[in-house]
Structure formats: C-alpha cells, structure tokens
Amino acid sequence: MKRKLSSIAVIAISMSVLSACETTVKTAIQEPISHTEAPQETDRVVHKTGEMAEAQTLYSFISSRLTGEYGVYTNLLDTDQKGEAATGHEILSESASLMMRYAVLTGNQALFGAEWEKAKKTFDMEGGFSYRFSPKLQKQYPVNAAVDDLRLIGALEEAGTAFKDEGYSQEAAKYGQRFYHYNVKDGYMYDFYDKKYNLTNKFVTLCYIDMSVLQKLSIPVEERAVLMHNMQEIQEQGYLSDSFPFYETRFDYETGSYKSENINTVESLLTILALSEVHLQKPASIRFIREQVEAGTLYGQYTREGTPVNDIRSTAIYAITAMIGAQLADDQLYRTSIERMNEFRVLDTGSVLYGGFGDTASGQAYSFDNLMALLAYTYE
C-alpha cells in the first residue's frame, strides 16, 4: 500500500511543480530578429526602464488578480482542487519561492518578509515545505519538492546578505540542515520526502539539482563535498549530445541509469540555468539556445534526438533563456528572449489579464509563466 501511495506522490509532484510549464499557448512562428550592432550603454538604460515598467504592470496583475490569502494561485480560474495535480486557486511552494526571489532581486525587504511569513504558515511542516496547499479543502499535502525547498533556502540566504539580516541567514542554515536530513541519503539528493510514510522516491530530476544552493548548505564540509560531487556528476553526465545539447529528465538510483521519454524544454533550460550559475554550462547548449531564440523556434518538447514534438512556445521558456542570458552577461540573448517573451503579454487594458501572461480566450493564467516572467524582467 505504501508503494502505491508513493507512486501517486511522485506523479503529483512531477505534474504540479512543472504543470504551468507544460501549459502553453500556440503562436505563429515569428521572423528572426536582426541584430546588426552590439547594444550601446544608452540602449541598455532605455531597455531597463522599459523592463521596470513591464515588471511593475505584471506585479500589479499578479498581486491584484492572481493572489489570495495564502499566496499566488496556480491558475486564475479556480477548480474543485481535488485533482492529482495542483489546479485553480491551490497554492504551490514553488510560487512562494519565486516571489521571495523577486523580493530579494528588487531589494524589497518588506515584501520579502511578508512573503516569507506567509510561506511558513502555509507550507512549513515536519521534514520540509509542503509542495502544495488547497485553500478550498484546507489541505496541506505531506510531501515536499526538493527544487522548491532549495529555492526557498536560497532566497533566505540571499535575503540575509542583501538585507544584512542575520535572522534570515540563520533560518537558511536551519532549513538547509533539515533538507539534508530528509532529502539526502548516502550523499545523494532525492526529489521528495513524504512525511506521512517517512520515505523518499527512488530518483532525482536533473532540473531539481540547484548546485548554487547545495554548495551553501550549512552541513559539515566533508558531507557537502560528497553531495556536490555526486550531484554535479549526475547533472553533467545527463548531457545528451552536442548535436542536441539538452539534458536527460531524471536519474534512477535503483537502476543507475537516466530516464527520459520526450525532453521537456523547460526542464532542460532550468538545468542549464542551474549549471550556468556555477559556471558549468556547455557552450553548445548556449549556442543552440541563442539560435533558437533568435529564430523564435524554441519549442516546448523534443525527442531525445532533437526533433520538435510540437510547435508550442511559452512565456516560461523565453523567461528562462532571458535568465540564462543575464547570468552569462549575454546581453543579446537576454534582450531577444525578453522580446520573444513579451509576444505573450496581454496588452488589452479591458482584459482581466492585462499586464499578465495568459490565454485571453479561456481566461487562464498560470503562476509559473507569470512569476518566471517577473523574475526575467528583474534578473539583469
């Protein structure tokens, strides 16, 4: 019985944490943008001013339309909140962590404090942060998601430095030690810990491995070194090929092998972003991303050989490539990604989605798309 429930938890986390990434709007392919000159400093100032205004409008949409008492809604349209994956006005720890990162990047200490207090009340539990909360059912799910716990811990660490607040640094250390206790076994990180059954799953999803946070965990140096070595090896060896320079989806500890069906672009881009944060990105990956962003042909899913499975593009895809560009100080990649991302902005002032990213026909707007766009505007 425990094994069956564990499998359900794996499915639920996989669908919920990245559910918004897989829900996209089909758009026509755009003509490639022509960049004949390197941007001048005055151009950067103009662009940055525009991004600040766009970020403010987007934040207004998120805070006024997409947020409730417990945090940012998974989707603007509500549901009965009874599905295996988070839907409607359910709240994800993913969203809380992204809002906290936004607060740090914009230097807004009051917002950070408010978001952190809300996140603790909503998600904190024995063994980690619940990945999901249903306001309608008043249900906190007894499973965490490593990627979101690490992002919350990382945001606390950054806040401690940015706001010169030792309290946040101490909390980062405390929750980092808890993460290591429950989500790491024998020097290897696992996707989730289920407090109800006191178990983890049997694999790690590569885009969950946040090396920049793992290297700061407040644990003994020797243990941290082992963890870093193991997870770096798993992440780097998941590289597919120079001809299709994306990454495998997960590594199965029981079989010692990688497993991927089709390759989800958002997942591989998050892996590349995580690697770039510790200077381990592959040059071929960055070249591929630049080419596809320029052409507007970076699609949502590929075969393992690099053939597009569909022609779906999404806000989150270009938001993440913008972050990669900012991380690598690649101004052209950043700017072109923002331009591509903005193709999905709702500019109709009469729409409830004005300023946000969503589908005006259905009225749907997902937390992941909107929060990743918000971060992309503020990342540089």
* pLDDT tens sequence across 256-285: 999 999 999 999 999 999 999 999 999 999
Alpha carbons 35 and 25: distance in angstroms, whole number:
26
Q: What is the pLDDT of residues 122-181, one digit of tens each?
A: 999 999 999 999 999 999 999 999 999 999 999 999 999 999 999 999 999 999 999 999
pLDDT score of 81 more than 90: yes
Compute the average pLDDT of residues 188-192.
98
pLDDT at site 51? 75
Domains parsed from the chain with CATH numbers: 2-379 (1.50.10.10)
Which DSSP string corresponds to 179-235? HHHHHEETTEE-S-EETTTTEE-SEEEGGG--HHHHTT-SS-HHHHHHHHHHHHHHH
For residue 347, which of 339, 358, 355, 357 has the smallest C-alpha distance? 355
Element (DSSP H or E) covering residue 177:
helix 166-183
Strand duo 132-134 + 128-129: pairing: unpaired
pLDDT in tens, 207-250: 999 999 999 999 999 999 999 999 999 999 999 999 999 999 99
Give the Cα separation of 290 and 232 in Å (integer).
24
Residue 64 CA to residue 316 CA, distance in Å, equals: 21
The span from the first CA to the last CA of the chain, in angstroms, equals 48
Q: For residues 97-112, give the mean pLDDT.
A: 98
pLDDT tier, 100 (very low <50, low <70, confident <90, very high otherwise): very high
Q: Count H helices, E strands: the chain?
A: 14, 16
CA atoms within 13 A on the CB side of 201: 24
Please provide the size of the chain in residues: 380
- Mean pLDDT computed over 46-54: 70
Phi-psi category of residue 329: left, alpha or beta, with phi > 0 → left and psi -120 to 50 → alpha = left
* Burial class for 123, CB neighbours closer than 10 Å (0-12, 13-18, 19+): buried
pLDDT at residue 52, as a whole number = 85
